[in-house]
Structure 1
Amino acid sequence: MGKIKKFIKYYGPYKKIFFMDMLCAFAAAGVDLLFPVVVRFLLNEAIAKGGGASASLIIKIGLLMLALYFVQYACNYFVTAWGHIMGARMEYDMRNDIFNHLQKLSFSFYDNNKTGQLMSRIVNDLFDISELAHHGPEEIFISLVKIIGSFLILLSVDWRLTLIVFAFIPPMAYFAFVYNKKMRSVFMRNRQKIADVNSQLEDSISGVRVVKSFSNENIEIFKFNKGNLEFLHTKEESYGYMGKFFSGVTLFQGMIYVITIISGALLMRTGSVKPTDLVAFLLYINTLLNPIRALINFTEQFQKGMTGFERFLDILNTEPDILDSEDSIEINEVKGKITFDNVSFRYSTGKYVLDNINLNVEPGETVALVGPSGGGKSTICSLIPRFYEATEGQILLDDIDVKNIKLKSLRKNIGIVQQDVYLFAGTVMENIRYGKPEATESEVIEAAKQANAHDFIMELEKGYDTYVGERGVKLSGGQKQRISIARVFLKNPPVLILDEATSALDNQSEKIVQDSLEKLSTNRTTFVIAHRLSTIRNAKTILVLTDNGIVEKGSHSELIKNNGEYANLYYAQFMDDDEMSI
């Protein structure tokens, strides 16, 4: 019931359309109920009484019925057109709600959920929910009006036949309840399996270059076929239940017709029932069974819609791990002092990645983080903008605990350049402007010049209006990296994080990008995660992180003199580079 109440809330903004839809549905159902009454009247007047009804009366009744069917036409138009429009608008609201909520969720949520599955919930599930939103109340309301109306009119025709007919309703309802429960379970599995198929499809398409480079198309085909086959099996199971369900209901309906005709014929022999009443009764049975059949057909739609809504609520009920505190503040004129005070961190499962880290970085200082993979370099940088929350200890920005700073304000003052550059499917201009959406064209061009990107952009087919393709596929690695640097230049943050920003580039591209990064980091507090140690020789402070935490700290020359972990890493890399140049 709690889920149904949440579902009903989405009708709130569309109350007028909803009530008009119900009124039109009621009117359309009323016309269907009136037709057998008119037939019975005409049969009694024109046949039973030997043609007692005048021709003019019959014509007038006919014209009235035609008029009513034109009214029903208008009502059905409103129900079909505006009912669907209402459902589409509710779908729009739900899709906005779920997308807005996804923007609030932290990295840990995305670490545990596949993109394809999330897309399935936003697209496939919400389509079925919108169909339920439109057809649900309408089908139930029309069916109840027709069932109750038919029951009352049938009682007025012959109460004995009515009781015989309605004696079949309870067992039919129980049969429907049992198979509804089974279909609900299998429809939920259907949704899970199609989400898995979407996830596999998204993963394979996104990694198509890796697939082809390893000639592993057959592996991807096998994985997709496996997921697709599992989805097929659940679909086959659901159709098996549906087949038993619908054929069983059809059997009940046939039994009702047979019993009614036999009972009516027996009652006619005794004179208890008139032939015209039996004809009208059979017409009303059809009027009664049609809404029951509609309710039964609606069952499939209801199960699809409600299982989709349950999956929709699963995401909406997922609370963000990281939220603004009640007394969080906006920060202005940030200097960029960063302090780690006994900071420890571990993921929800696993050992501590960081343990009692203490660090003090002055405004404008550059700190390089080096060491083997898994030492916590990226984790330290992810804790500063609160992509993850420190398990223990405090992280301070200008002596303010980052937990007491509004997330938007905190992240507005931090710029990040990553190794894996993400460009959106759009133009060069749009991607650079992402750093400052309100920026003018001249500001974007100036940022590109600072990032050493302007010259190559102007050589592109349409300059700043060139479409970069999905994830910037039409640009080289160095070009993408310079656009991402231009984006941060435009943002102009006081704190900068460079996460192995040049490690994937060739030597020529690295030099150009490195020049851009050095210009970008000037007068900013900068954290550099470095793979190539030659790029961080000028850093004021170099931290060497291993599984044991910060094992060394100092400048490049100091650490070389210590002949410790850093010196071993540096000489090993220097020898590798020297061998490669031979």
Structure 2
Amino acid sequence: MSNSTTSNAKQQTATPGGTQREQQKGSIAALRGLAPFLAPYRLQFILAGIALTVAAGATLAIPYAFKQMIDLGFGASAGVRSIEHVNAVFLALFGVATVLAIATAARFYTVSWLGERVTADIRSAVYRHVVRQSPAFFETTQTGEVLSRITTDTTLIQAVVGTSISMALRNLLLFAGGLVMLFVTSPKLSAIIIGLLILTVLPIVMFGRRVRSLSRDSQDRIADASAVAGEILNAMPTVQAFTHEKIETERFGASVERAFATAMRRIRARALLTMVAIVLVFGTIVFVLWLGAHAVIEGTMTGGDLGQFILYASIVAGAIGALSEVMGEAQRAAGATERLLELMSVQSAIESPARPVPLPPRAANGAALALENVTFFYPSRPDAPALAHVQLDIKPGETVAVVGPSGAGKTTLFQMFLRFYDPQQGAIRLDGVDIRQLDLHTLRDAIGIVPQDTVIFSADAMENIRYGRAGATDEEVIQAAKMAAAHEFIERLPNGYHSFLGERGVRLSGGQRQRIAIARALLKNPPLLLLDEATSALDAESERLVQSALEAAMVGRTTVIIAHRLATVQRADRIIVMEDGRIVETGTHRSLVALGGIYANLAALQFHSVHVTHTALDEATQ
């Protein structure tokens, strides 16, 4: 019971998100989750900070230079002295502009580099994390949604790290420095303007929460559209075969329109937020400047002081406006960060142990495989066991065929051997070692599999076969292809082994794809070979060639076969018959037919024509 509880708890962690994270959605605090990705680049951040500070200081020096020009240049008595002051002020302005230009360029380069670098790191980390998840994760998560998070969400984060953070810090410095200089210039007017600005900020902050929520919704709708598109594009032959092009186009169009409608709500909210912010902030500044103009007329302020105050007030207002814009971007990035962190927080239910046990040295005749009272429930079907109290002992070098009706648990056995799932009860042992004690790479390196649904990658034939063993030479690849009866058709391709096979192998027939998969498994040369209907897509001639190749490949290794075809089943040392997740019959083909049970019925239904042919031949020879 404890094992079951633990496994169920683990499976729950395979679903992105959770109650706690749902409560935190939309919070700017989510950007703190980027800290581990930013930490390695402290030096670059320091350099960017220096450049940013220098640029802000240069900007804040400009109003003071104008004050000097107005009061000491234009305000002085006409003559050489005023010309000297004007010349000096403009020369100083040019120097300030040069410093500002250099510092701004340095800041732009540094923060842009940081944005690209951190985004690349995040994409790599998310992808690395996703590919290590167990199949339970992909049962509940659409591929299109994962791709949306890796692309769209990281692009938003790139904008924040590469632009928005820098802009926010720059405008914070300008706001703080401008505020100080406003008080230096006129404490009375500054106190009035600050009080009014505080009153204007409150409604802006309140309305910003609405923008934050809509930003998160917008990203979710984009992910939904990506998921729909990915699903349909991966099933295009089926869509076209059933003439569902129009239906699927309309379905995707509806998804896009939902994303558009959500985005427009976000855009309208942000536009309204920007308008309100500008009207309130600049209305406040205009009112205070009106007071300042009266002070100049009354002689309590100089023209230079008012000019300086106007420029600093413009800097402060511009900084507030820019900060509100940056806040909108930060809110969108916060939503994107939350989505990525949700993905990164998912813990795979299947992981290598902290201290893995090594496998014994490989025996000459293959691996021993044992199932000890194995019971397993899929997470999506917790009430119906896929395997129930399965007890099986496979000796090294033995070839075992597993047969049974659909849903009997045959494919589940293979998934358990590869440790895509862990049983809730019992244990699976490879060469006497519980596979849960093995490093996942060690376990899976010892197993070669030819799946029923062959996966062909967008690469040439050479690289597709070499996928079985990355370090294999070209000669070893070609030898594996010859063993799998794939060499001849590969040689006939336009560029031979260097021919591009198309996405998912669309340039190959089903039988050719199957032989590529067999060659891949043979190249791996594992002690345990799993064949899931390995000859199901082959014609009679190809099946004969591959069967002989597989028979040679089975020498020196243990083989487990899921098969329905009589030729494959008859060659097995032992046949295991499964029904409803249990082993119900065991024996050879002849003994099981004589038993008259489930296998005999399957044989009668599936291999009737073969039996008729054999009977006719027997009668003809008598």
Please report the TM-score for the alignment, with normalisation by the length of structure 2. Answer: 0.90
In the alignment, which of 52, 56, 67 is matched to residue 40 of structure 1? 67
Moved more, 267-276 or 194-203: 267-276
Q: CA deviation at 1:51?
A: 4.1
Q: CA deviation at 1:45?
A: 1.2
Distance in 2 (alpha carbons) for counterparts of 1:576 and 1:248? 81
Asked if 1:50 corresponds to 2:81, the answer is no
How far has the Cα of 1:6 moved from its partner?
3.3
> Are 2:286 and 1:258 equivalent residues in the alignment?
yes
Letter in 2 for 1:490: L
Rounded Cα–Cα distance in structure 2 between residues aligned with 1:265 and 1:40? 15
Q: Distance in 2 between matches of 1:570 and 1:50?
A: 115
Partner of residue 347, structure 1: 378
SS of aligned partner of 2:89? helix
CA distance, structure 1, for counterparts of residue 604 and residue 255 of structure 2: 49
Q: Deviations over 1:237-286 (max 9, x none)?
A: 11121122111101112312331133223434543333332222111111
Aligned mates of 1:501, 1:358 — CA distance in 2: 25
What is the CA–CA distance in structure 1 between the aligned matches of 2:539 and 2:83, rounded to whole Å?
Answer: 96
What is the DSSP-based 3-state SS (H/G/I as helix, E as strand, rest coil) of the residue aligned with 1:10? helix
Correspondences of 1:71-150 after superposition (within 5 Å): 71-150=99-178
- The Cα offsets for residues 539-571 of structure 1, whole Å up to 9 and x where unpaired, read as 111111111611111110010000011101110
Q: Tell me, yes or no, if the aligned pair for 1:346 and 1:354 is still in contact at 8 Å.
A: yes
1:236 maps to which of 259, 264, 277: 264
The partner residue of 2:509 within 476, 485, 503 is 476
Contact 2:224–2:255 (CA<8 Å) still a contact in 1?
yes
Aligned partners of 1:533 and 1:579: how far apart in 2?
13
SS of 1:460's equivalent in the other structure is coil
The answer to whether the 8 Å contact 1:369/1:542 transfers is: yes
- Look up the match of 2:230: 202
Per-residue deviation, residues 143-184 of structure 1 (Å, max 9, x unmatched)? 121111111111121111111211132233322322222122
Query: 1:133-282 residue pairs with structure 2 within 5 A?
Result: 133-282=161-310
1:535 pairs with one of 556, 568, 591: 568
- 2:466 touches 2:472 (CA, 8 Å); kept in 1? yes
> CA contact under 8 A between 1:337 and 1:361: conserved in structure 2?
yes
Q: Output the CA distance in 2 between the equivalents of 1:464 and 1:82.
A: 45
Q: Is structure 2 residue 499 aligned with structure 1 residue 462? A: no
Q: Using a 3 Å threshold, how does the CA distance of structure 1 residues 224 and 142 change in structure 2: closer, same or farther?
A: same
Structural mapping, 1:480-491, within 5 Å? 480-491=513-524
- 1:431-470 equivalent positions in 2, closer than 5 A: 431-470=464-503
Pair 42,51 (structure 1): closer, same or farther in 2 beyond 3 Å: farther
Counterpart Cα distance in 1 of 2:330 and 2:355 = 44
State the partner residue of 1:17: 44
Instruction: Tell me, yes or no, if structure 1 residue 337 matches structure 2 residue 368.
Output: yes
User: Quick one: distance in 2 between partners of 1:430 and 1:520?
Assistant: 21
- After superposition, give the CA deviation of every residue in 1:112-170 in whole Å (9 maximum; x if it has no partner): 11111111111111111122112243222211211111111111211111112111322
Q: 1:416 aligns with which of 420, 444, 449?
A: 449
Work out the CA distance in 1 between the residues paired with 2:185 and 2:491. Answer: 86
2:617 aligned partner: none
Q: Note the alpha carbon deviations across 1:324-364, whole angstroms, 9 max, x for none.
A: 22231232533411110010000123221111100000011
- In structure 1, the partner of 2:34 is 7
1:496 aligned counterpart, secondary structure: strand
Separation in structure 1 between the aligned mates of residue 360 and residue 89 of structure 2, nearest angstrom: 80
**Within 2, Cα distance between the matches of 1:463 and 1:366?**
34
- The 1-side partners of 2:284 and 2:405 are apart by 78
Matched, 1:376 2:404: no
CA distance in 2, matches of 1:464, 1:252: 69
Bigger relative CO (Cα 8 Å, ≥ 6 apart): 2
Report Cα offsets for 1:524-547 as digits up to 9, x if no partner: 211111133442112111111111
Partner of 1:391: 424
User: d(CA) in 1 for partners of 2:609 and 2:332?
Assistant: 59
Kept in 2, the 8 Å contact 1:168–1:252? The answer is no
**CA–CA separation in structure 2 for the residues paired with 1:105 and 1:114:** 13
CA distance in 2, matches of 1:168, 1:501: 77
Q: Which runs of 5+ in 2 are unaligned?
A: 1-27, 615-622
In structure 2, C-alpha distance between the alignment counterparts of 1:360 and 1:227, rounded to whole Å:
51
Supply the distance in 2 between the matched residues of 1:54 and 1:263 (Cα, whole angstroms).
29
SS of corresponding position for 1:54: helix
For 1:339 and 1:463, the matched residues in 2 are separated by: 42
- Residues 394 and 125 of structure 1: CA distance in aligned 2, closer, same or farther (over 3 Å): same
Distance in 2, matches of 1:265 and 1:579, equals 109
Q: CA RMSD in A?
A: 2.0
Q: Give the SS at the match of 1:504.
A: coil
- Report whether the alignment pairs 1:504 with 2:534: no
Shift of 1:60: 2.3
Provide the rounded CA distance (Å) in 1 between the counterparts of 2:297 and 2:425. Answer: 90
2 and 400 in structure 1: CA distance in 2 versus 1, 3 angstrom threshold:
farther
Question: How many angstroms apart in 2 are the aligned matches of 1:115 and 1:505?
Answer: 30
How many Å separate the matches in 1 of 2:206 and 2:344? 30
Q: Map of 1:399-410 to 2, 5 A cutoff? A: 399-410=432-443
In the TM superposition, residue 579 of structure 1 has moved relative to its aligned partner by: 9.8
- Measure how far apart 1:423 and its partner are: 1.1
Going from structure 1 to structure 2, the CA distance change for 1:29 and 1:2 (only over 3 Å counts) comes to closer
Give the superposition deviation at 1:523.
2.7
Q: Give 2:496's aligned amino acid.
A: G
1:320 is displaced (CA, Å) by 1.2
8 Å Cα contact 1:482/1:516 also seen in 2: no
Q: 2:349 aligns with which of 294, 318, 321?
A: 321
Deviation of 1:2 after TM superposition, in Å, equals 7.1
**Cα offset, 1:3, TM superposition:** 4.1
Query: Does the aligned pair in 2 maintain the 1:154–1:284 contact within 8 Å?
Result: yes
Q: Secondary structure at the match of 2:131?
A: helix
Provide the identity percentage.
32
Give the CA deviation at 1:405: 1.0
The SS at the match of 2:101 is: helix
Aligned length: 582
Range with greater deviation from structure 2 (249-258 or 456-465): 249-258
Q: 1:433 touches 1:490 (CA, 8 Å); kept in 2? A: yes
Counterpart of 1:542, as a letter, is I
1:404, distance to aligned residue in structure 2 (A): 0.8
Q: CA deviation at 1:576?
A: 6.2
> Which segments of 5 or more consecutive residues in structure 1 lack a partner in the other structure?
none
Distance 1:391 1:235, change over 3 A: same
Query: Which digits, 9 at most, give the CA deviation of each residue in 1:299-334, with x for residues without a partner?
Result: 221112221111111111111111122231232533
> Mean Cα displacement is larger for which, 295-304 or 169-178?
169-178
CA 1:449 to 1:32, structure 2 compared with 1: closer, same or farther past 3 Å? same
SS class of match (1:421): coil
Q: Is the 8 A contact 1:540 1:555 kept in 2?
A: yes
* Secondary structure at the counterpart of residue 607 of structure 2: helix
In structure 2, C-alpha distance between the alignment counterparts of 1:170 and 1:545, rounded to whole Å: 74
3-state secondary structure, aligned to 1:374: coil
